[in-house]
Amino acid sequence: MQRTGFLFLAPYAVSFAIFVILPIVVSFVLSFMRFDLTAQSSAGFVGLDNYKEALHDNYFWSAVKATLLFAAMIVPGLLVIGLSMALGINAMARGRAAVRALVFLPGMLNIAVTGILWQWFFNGEFGLFNFALKHFGSQGQPWLSDKAFAMPSIVLMSVWWTVGGTAIILLTALQQIPGMYFEAAALDGASTMRMFRHITLPLLKPVMSFVVVTTSIAGFQMFGQAFMLTRGGPELSTRGVAQYIYETAFNSYRMGYGAAMSWLLFALISVFGIFQIRMMRRPA
Amino acid sequence: MNRSVWKTINGTIMRTVATLMILPLFLMLLTSMKPEAEVLNPENVVPRVWTLSNYQQILGWAEEAPFGRWFSNSVFISSAVTLGVIVFSAMGAFAIKRLRVPGGRQFLGLIIGSMMVPGQLFLVPLYLILSKLHWLDTPAALIVPATAGGFGIYMLSQFMEDMPPAIEEAALIDGCSPAQMFLHQTLPLCAPAISTLAVFTFIGSWNDFMGPLVFMDSVRNYTLPVGIALYQTSYYTEYGLTLATSVLAVTPLLVIFALFQRQIVSSMAASGLKD
Amino acid sequence: MSIFSNLGIRGSILGLAAIVAGIGVTRSCEGGGIVTSKHRVDLTFWNGFTGPDGRRMLEIIRDFNHDHPDIQVSMQRMDWATYYNKLMVSAMDNRGPQLFVVHASTLPRMYRSGFIENSARLYSGTEAIPSADYDPYVLEQVKFKDQFAGVPLDIHPQGMYTNAEMLRATGITQPPSDKASFMRALRALTKKSGSGDATQWAFALTLWRNNFQSLIPQFRGRYLKPNGDADLNNPGNIAALQFLGDLSREKLIPPPENGLGWVGYRQKKVAMVWDGVYMLGDLLRLQGLDYVAAPIPQIGPQPGTMADSHVLCIRKGLSEAQRTGAETFIRYLSKNSIRWAAAGQVPARRSVRETAEFAGMPVQSAFARQIPFMMYPPRTPVLFEVTLEIDQAVEKVIRGNADAKTALDLANVNAQRAIDRDRAEQKIAPSGGQKP
């Protein structure tokens, strides 16, 4: 039985070892090296220099700030909006399937298409949003060209793009709560609000935890959204760590430094990830 | 307030929300059929002059840009990836959660941890590895590494954990081998989760940019989204054309989704993801 | 779901830095260089000409292939950002194209990697491309000590595009050529509606960094000191940036959104813009826009503009047959560069510019008048970092968040840091690549 177990696991394990573990190890080694792709003769080990440089790099810290800002907005945003949608769909008498399918549709676009579309919406001159605002007598907003607006705009696009998936996951969990609980509570005279707080929320906790963790992981690695809409502007205020790593490694060709920053990002992600898992594991 | 009034209001709200979500896609389609001058003057949502000139221009690249080939590349690769991921993940999850392989839990923890590693970390080393394997510029470069993704095995492990073991234990008592149990009991029970995984995997693979861009040299080996993207970037000031290329990039996926819509949505709803 | 789906399109672009040197994977080159029977050589040619100019290049290549049955060239094009990364990585892995294009400004970085062949052969011998046929300044850009990185195909300066119709409507018959006439046009052509919204702008920034860099030579500014140190905050640069900052502060230009100026120009909402000669391809497809081109007006004490060149390069390590074939192609392209000019470029070769055919290209000829006064981007391997600093400084100033001096001081500090770091890193080991 055990040997069968290993046999069943083997294909995945081999693939995982070669295409996940090995690259991770190589990257780890790389983070302690100076490696400039355009001048490989100067490659060499530099110990912790890359890490030290990152911790003293203003650009790195602004990127961390941008990343944290994005994550801080998207995680609650997706959770609240996704849950509201799930509750709304769940309460529908008819037409659920259609609504369910429609909200999921935006998630099928790739980031490039999404970025182009929303760039057009947000455009200051002829974009759809400002056109609508002006049409109704208001004034256009600097969606992507003002620091105060840029990140929220990016978050807005991201929510549109991904909330469907979140809603469906939460909806599934909702539909698995046995109806009996609600009926019994209703018999006892409980209001909708009380039922929500004492039945729905606790039973949803595991799935909400899953959503929070996976959304955070994705949020910390945000790249395409900002890159497509603002290239990290205005004034690099929306340039996240992932974009900074990309530019360091693939425009400045400093692979070692890029790798070190990637590992710092990993540290950030795992700290939050573990913290969130622990937090949401508290007994209901 | 009256229950059914609530329900009606709720239904209206949800339908409105769904329409709003879909509106951008609709606008994209309509705008791509406007002449450029109209695109930049958005007074009319519906084009006053309908034109397919943008699409004509794009398809005029066809002598150089092999759209048909790209499309078949995408279909082949995404299908192969989906199949590979499902097979590897199902077998692996089965081994960890059903056969209780020693060290399985720790391995799963390692997998989840690996999902937290930023994707860029993998680009350089993966390129090297694929180069040594002589897989660059071949479909293998896109298909095989995808089977190492953690999402699938994590998800199926969750699902299998929740499944009551009674049915399988009965099969074992009857003298089934693990393989038979897997094929005849476990897989059918997992069908909803597997469908969900299949959908996510197919979409993810279809939209994957890094793989084809980085690991493929020849133009003819690109996938559709990547190929189209490389041609549209110079037209940053021509939104009509840009939107048209976006429509083309997205349409095959939407068509596939429409075809399998019922199965997909119902099976996804049936899958439960519990922690 | 793939971990990579977060990365998105360009985000995922190429990090493929194959640590190839160490691994030394050699493969027979994909898609090229195979000497088939009858001594036919197949070459691949990569570049970033994804616009309509690319189609023109395709036509030229088609004719070349027709005339040279023993050398067949196939082109692959992709957007420039992707292109450079892919080029770098695959060339290091010996998988890349035999022929490729590199911007002159990017050469210092690329040449150092050691995969570009010395093109000196093309400038000597019986079929030599005469080096005297190039402006010395342009030729300097492709020379590294006594080696040639390639052959310049074209020069693409920034210049001014005007809407003649809009100008005429306010009585201006010629595009402004100096600061006084430019400022007059600025005030005459900017129209606001009753509510204060602009219905028409005289001038708008296109890519604001390019617009600034075009003014640098006019104010006798520069990027680097002779010893290679950064000099971004010299008085000339500050004055140039100040001018743009003043335009923004006095609301004589619309609030900046990169690239929007060009869109507005195409829409006939902006009367004048400064952009590259390569944007002509965009205008050729438009109808009803009465465009007239001119040099950038002399805002500073002297005329000047920014320019760059596309340089044709050959990869190192080719077989003799491949190399000869590649050289033949480059010679052909160079000789026929008037056809390339029609796409919106200025030929690099003086003899081609002196033809009647070129004189018959009004936009290109107008832009070419600036050649004696143009300035290329700084010749430094850390061009990306320096350019980013310039971009940041310009953005701050035109958004009104800093004055020119402060912004450029900061940019200079950061640029110098990048330069120092690069120097320190390269001194450690004897350089395997070429030093500029």
What are the residue ranges spanned by the domains of chain C?
Answer: 23-153+309-335, 157-307+379-426
Tell me whether the CATH fold assigned to C23-153+309-335 matches the one assigned to C157-307+379-426: yes
DSSP conformation letters of C281-299? HHHHT-SS--EEEEPPPB-
Surface-to-core class of residue C339, CB atoms within 10 Å of its CB (0-12 exposed, 13-18 middle, 19+ buried):
middle
Domain boundaries, chain A: 57-280
Nearest to A263 by CA among A23, A72, A18, A17: A23
Mean pLDDT score, A7-34 = 93
Domain with B19 in it: 3-55
Question: Which of A70, A154, A210, A250 to mutate to probe the C interface, most C CBs <10 Å?
Answer: A250
Give the per-residue pLDDT at C163.
Answer: 95
Give the range among A77-91, B248-262, C126-140 with minimum mean pLDDT: B248-262
Nearest-Cα distance to chain C for B46, in Å, is: 20
Q: Which of A2-16, A71-85, B179-193, C372-386 has the lowest mean pLDDT?
A: B179-193
Residues in chain A with CB shorter than 8 Å from the CB of B242 are 116
CA distance A219 to chain C (A): 9
Q: For chain A, positions 201-260, list CB contacts with chain B under 8 A.
A: 206-207, 209-210, 217, 221, 242, 245-246, 249, 255, 258-259
Helix (H, G, I), strand (E, B) or coil at A27: helix
pLDDT digit string, tens, across residues A173-185:
787 777 788 888 8
* A98 touches C at CB < 8 Å: no
For residue B83, the distance in angstroms to the closest alpha carbon of chain A comes to 13
What pLDDT shows up at residue C2? 38
Please indicate whether, in this complex, the C-beta atoms of A92 and B7 are within 8 angstroms of each other: yes
List beta partners, residue C203: C272
- CA-based nearest distance C206→chain A, Å: 14
Report the 10 Å Cβ neighbour count for C430. Answer: 8
Amino acid occupying residue A231: R
CB contact under 8 A, C257 and A124: yes
Q: Is residue B7 part of a domain?
A: yes
Q: Which tokens sit at C50?
A: 């994804």
Q: Determine the distance in angstroms separating the CA of B110 from the nearest CA of chain C, rounded to an integer.
A: 15
- Contact map slice: B 91-130 vs C, CB within 8 A: 115, 117, 119-120, 122-124, 127-128
**A57-280 is classed CATH 3.30.70.20:** no
pLDDT tens string C94-107: 778 999 999 999 99
CB contact under 8 A, A39 and C395: no
Contacts C8 to B, Cβ<8 Å? 209
- CA distance, residue B61 to nearest chain A CA (Å): 19
Core vs surface per residue B223-255: b (16+ CB within 10 A) or e: bbbbbbbbbbbbbbbbbbbbbbbbbbbbebbee
- Beta-sheet strands, E only, within C194-268: 198-204
Q: C23-153+309-335, what's its fold?
A: D-Maltodextrin-Binding Protein; domain 2 (3.40.190)
Closest CA of chain C from B127, distance in Å: 6
Q: What is the mean pLDDT of residues B11-38?
A: 88
What is the average per-residue pLDDT within A101-117?
A: 85
* Mutant choice from A32, A110, A204, A225 vs B, greatest count of B C-beta within 10 A: A110
Contacts of B7 in chain A (CB under 8 A): 91-93
- pLDDT tens digits along B113-136: 888 888 877 877 888 888 888 898
* For residue A130, pLDDT beyond 80: yes
**Max Cα distance, chain B (Å):** 74
Q: How confident is the model at residue A83 (pLDDT cuts 50, 70, 90)?
A: very high
β-pairing verdict for A44-45 and C143-144? unpaired
Do C433 and A144 make contact, defined as CB atoms within 8 angstroms?
A: no
Q: Minimal Cα–Cα distance from A2 to chain C, Å?
A: 29
Are C85 and C14 spatial neighbours (Cβ–Cβ below 8 Å)? yes
Residue of B nearest to A129 (CA): B42
Domain presence at residue B182: yes
- Which residues 193-252 on chain B approach chain C with CB closer than 8 angstroms? 200-201, 204-205, 207-211, 213-215, 217-219, 226, 229-231, 233-238
Amino acid B76: pLDDT:
95
Instruction: Report whether pLDDT(A116) > 70.
Output: yes
Between B254 and B235, the more confident residue is: B254
- Bridge partners (DSSP) of residue C272 are C162, C203
At B42 the pLDDT is: 67
B221 and B162 in a single domain? The answer is: yes
Pairing relation of β-strands C71-77 and C41-47?
parallel
Least confident of A155-159, B40-44, B70-74, C371-375: B40-44
Give pLDDT, residue B224: 86
ipTM of the complex: 0.84
Global pTM reads 0.85
Q: Would you state the pLDDT for residue B74?
A: 92
Among the residue ranges A81-85, A209-213, C1-5, C170-174, the one predicted with the least confidence is C1-5
Q: What is the pLDDT of residue C31?
A: 37
Q: Average pLDDT, whole number, for chain C?
A: 85
Residue C77: enclosing H or E segment and its boundaries? strand C71-77
Q: Which residue of A has its CA nearest to B266?
A: A97
Kindly report which listed range (A1-10, B102-111, C128-137, C364-373) carries the lowest average pLDDT score: A1-10
Whether residue A106 lies within 8 A of chain C, CB to CB, comes out as no
Give me C15's structure tokens: 């990090």
Residue of C nearest to A53 (CA): C421
- Radius of gyration (Cα) for chain B, nearest Å? 23
Domain end point (choices B16, B35, B55)? B55
Residue range B74-84, pLDDT digits in tens? 999 999 999 99
Is pLDDT of B5 > 90? Answer: no
How many domains does chain B divide into? 2
Q: What residues in C contact A247, CB-CB < 8 Å?
A: 384
Instruction: Give the closest-approach CA distance of B34 to chain A in angstroms.
Output: 14
Going from the C-alpha of C113 to that of each of A120, C250, C430, the distances in angstroms are: 39, 46, 13
Asked if pLDDT for residue A50 goes beyond 90, the answer is yes
Mean pLDDT per 10-residue segment, chain C (436 residues): 35 31 29 54 90 85 94 87 82 84 94 90 89 94 93 96 94 94 92 73 92 97 94 96 94 80 87 93 84 96 96 94 95 94 94 95 96 95 94 94 95 95 70 35
Which residue would you say has higher pLDDT here, A191 or C248? C248
- If one compares A178 and B95, the residue with the highest pLDDT of the two is B95
pLDDT > 70: what percent of chain B? 85
Chain C interface with B: residues with Cβ < 8 Å: 1-9, 11-20, 23, 25, 27, 30-31, 50-51, 54, 58, 76-79, 82, 86, 89-90, 93, 95-96, 259, 262-263, 266-267, 282
Digit-coded pLDDT (tens) for A253-270: 888 999 999 999 999 988
- Predicted local distance difference test score (pLDDT) of residue B211: 82
Mean pLDDT of B238-247: 79
Model confidence over B142-198: pLDDT tens digits?
Answer: 999 999 988 889 888 877 776 667 666 777 777 778 888 888 878 877 777 788 788
Does A257 touch chain C if contact means CB atoms closer than 8 Å? no
Strand pairing of C291-294 and C154-163? antiparallel
Q: Does A279 touch chain B (CB under 8 A)?
A: no
Coil, strand or helix at C148: strand
Q: Please name the residue that has the structure tokens 């294909």.
A: A11
Residue with tokens 């939407």: B254
pLDDT tens string A17-27: 999 999 999 99
Same domain, B13 and B125: no
Q: Out of C267, C385, C433, whose CB is closest to A39? A: C433
* Weakest mean pLDDT among A230-239, B11-20, B54-63: B54-63
Q: What span, in angstroms and rounded, lies between the C-alpha atoms of C422 and C434?
A: 14
pLDDT of residue A42: 78
> Given CB atoms, is A110 within the 8 Å cutoff of chain C?
yes
- Nearest by CB to A251, from C267, C384, C425: name it: C384
Length of chain A: 284
Please name the CATH architecture into which domain C157-307+379-426 falls: 3-Layer(aba) Sandwich (3.40)
Q: Which residues of C touch A252 (CB under 8 A)?
A: 382, 384-385
Token pair, residue B178, equals 């693990």
Q: Does any CB of chain A come closer than 8 Å to the CB of residue B175? A: no
The minimal CB distance from C259 to the residues B137, B230, B236 is found for: B236
Phi, psi of B92 (to 5 degrees): -65, -45
Same domain, B127 and B256: yes
- Rounded to whole angstroms, the Cα distance separating C334 from C338 reads 9
Model confidence at B19, in pLDDT bands (50, 70, 90)? very high
- CB neighbours of residue B173 within 10 Å: 8
pLDDT category, B203, cuts 50, 70, 90?
Answer: confident
- Nearest alpha carbon to residue B229 among A123, C57, C78: C78
